[in-house]
Structure 1
């Protein structure tokens, strides 16, 4: 796969007539019913932005909270997946080599990135100037680089947060890469503690690429949001314990939120293929892999070619790109093409051959490939009226839950806030209505809490 990413059509080449247009349009309609339409996506995005503002304000200038992943993209319901969260300390800044540090406030600790002897998209962080005072967490993660200079250990940094005291009711789990997973009630959260990374040359190279998408305004916004480093090295590297990975979480959130509906549906379908068809056990292929495939496809093709009647064409193209990535173990990172996202995947020959054969079968099946995806298959075989009835109530329940969650963050109490009381009342009406219909259709429903959980999964 070329360094510039996924490109199957030369610029200016006229795309052939799309096939399976009717099936594409019908699948797009089904996905709207299932909760992937623009209105519910935007409601989710705004709700998690509001919670980020709340926690950032509560940190009083010491940290910035950023929801990332599928929650920030508005693509999963309330309980459907973990909440991925990046917490960035405001006491530290990391600077790309060659960037002047004289304007950095004296209270901030400055690290200088050293990427010349690291894998692309990764770096080591050398202490240039301690802050006044230096953060205890940072100080305890410093080690010697062998030449008397302070080197920030990614391993030690994560371990500092693993050992931090938790609020009552939060259950801490084992470290997973750079994240510290936690459970509180029915919610699960993966938190990564990152640092600000000022890297103008990397973002300038990304912005200067020839592209059909995104627009110049969006490119400028992504550049303005900057970058971060997260505490994780390249698996198997001799310096894994002191390497940091460059990431662009806020910029990637903006990019995904600027995809059109067909591009979003392509992303969702490819994630379903990954989860329900390939079923990776060791993160050989991840949602991040799929995201990068979609971003490359969007950048390299005219925006007008992405419409609801072309969905199956792009699903075919996305599967082809996924097949190539699996076959060659090559997929350039969208923000830094020199970084190969498949470099460290634990993909053995037998599994690779099996996945390639499965993808080849899907690409020859045409629209019938969609029946391999349980969520889509169930929606297709369901009677339209019950499906729309249930989906409407499920989406309303989730919208109410998101509103209630953010009012709780703002300090509102159900005992005194009339809006939260009205939300709770309407939620109970929905749960009773759904529970009654389930009983009428032969289900045994004893607990509305279980109905609530199943509807928001």
Structure 2
């Protein structure tokens, strides 16, 4: 797995590079703060291996729990009160105080509930936000998916863009922080609490009022937790995601990688850290599969941050899917160590000759590092999409990337492989 790009060193390096990129981008933004989330923020996927999740947090607006005094919030910030009489982990937002400079998107998403309250509609908010998304020949916007407004560049780089509002909910975070646990440490618990929460524009699927509801999330805190998993835990998480993607293959997100993340976080909290070491990898992988099978059978898995929220509720799982997936997982667990051979990516890596595998692994790592460094170096060079200053270092990076791709192409030819253009090789290497 280390040779496939899931080792501790490259994982930590990716995390720092995406944080650096966020910092560079936010130096240019005024009304939003961009946060890389999901697998990219966790350093657990290669550059083009999966979608990039981007969270755009609106500035000048805040939602708060009941009991929070408005006098503690600076003037000029718009304030919404959280009505949590909804499915666990969701809320409705009631206007308490208009922002001094509220956006047209927010204004157009306000609704009167007929009882004297003004609510912010999640559905209207996303509809209005969609209309403001830029469109051009290189970036294509796709159909809305939950709270996300997805897009892609060149059919290769896919981005899930999610707009969010900061959320001050100390009682929810304190309930999480006060649980008895083996992990995380008290210091990390307090850091997660300090990172706070946000709400995103999506309601509970089966709610009568889903178009008015928002979902409470802890993206930055969860990324911090995953980044503090040890090497064995991180690789269990990666392999569970592979099993869902390559073996179960859900067609409508009945099971997601987010379910796998929560299974691994519960594992970490409930067991001593010294039990997670390289030789125990298979034990924890099978334990994770057992937890997944139970979640499928019972349609029940508690959300790690808010246990009252069931991640399997409204998943759309059919009885036929349940029966089939339970059978598949049971068979996989019976295979013991051979279970990993059912994963195409792992199987190819195992049967490949060691020397070529190591060579391609090193070239893939170099390409990814060059690409991420290049992107970060280029951010300060652009203003409103126009290159306004030059930097010699990115040019040298591009030349080196071209040299690496030529080396790969020549080796492929020597090994009898069909070689397409260098762009195609680059896309394949970074997937």
TM-score by length of 1: 0.91
Q: Is the 8 A contact 1:414 1:421 kept in 2?
A: no
Look up the match of 2:411: 437
C-alpha separation between the residues in 1 aligned to 2:126 and 2:133? 14
Structure 1 unaligned segments of length 5 or more: list them. Answer: 1-30
Q: Deviations over 1:188-231 (max 9, x none)?
A: 11101100000000000100001111111110100000000000
C-alpha separation between the residues in 2 aligned to 1:233 and 1:401? 37
Q: Does 1:111 align with 2:80?
A: yes
Look up the match of 1:53: 23
- 2:49 match: secondary structure: coil
Q: CA RMSD in A?
A: 1.3
Look up the match of 2:427: 453
Q: CA deviation at 1:237?
A: 0.8
Please point out which of 130, 134, 148 is paired with 2:102.
134
Task: Flag the 1:416–1:139 CA change in 2: closer, same or farther, 3 A.
Answer: closer
Please point out which of 146, 152, 157 is paired with 1:177.
146
Q: CA deviation at 1:416?
A: 4.2
Look up the match of 1:76: 45
* 1:34-433 superposed matches below 5 A: 34-60=4-30, 62-116=31-85, 118-166=86-134, 168=136, 169-185=138-154, 186-411=156-381, 416-433=390-407
- 1:143 match: secondary structure: strand
**How many residue pairs are counted as aligned between the two chains?**
425
Q: CA deviation at 1:414?
A: 12
- 1:111 match: secondary structure: strand
C-alpha separation between the residues in 2 aligned to 1:127 and 1:335? 26
- 1:347 match: secondary structure: coil
C-alpha separation between the residues in 2 aligned to 1:134 and 1:162? 18
Q: Is the 8 A contact 1:332 1:338 kept in 2?
A: yes
C-alpha separation between the residues in 2 aligned to 1:371 and 1:58? 47
Q: CA deviation at 1:423?
A: 1.4
Q: Is the 8 A contact 2:84 2:91 kept in 1?
A: yes
C-alpha separation between the residues in 2 aligned to 1:145 and 1:212? 45
Q: Deviations over 1:8-59 (max 9, x none)?
A: xxxxxxxxxxxxxxxxxxxxxxx11111111111121111111211222211
Q: Is the 8 A contact 1:414 1:420 kept in 2?
A: no
Detail structure 1 runs of 4+ shifted over 3 Å in the superposition. 412-416
Deviates more, 1:129-138 or 1:268-277: 129-138
TM-score by length of 2: 0.96
Q: CA deviation at 1:419?
A: 1.9
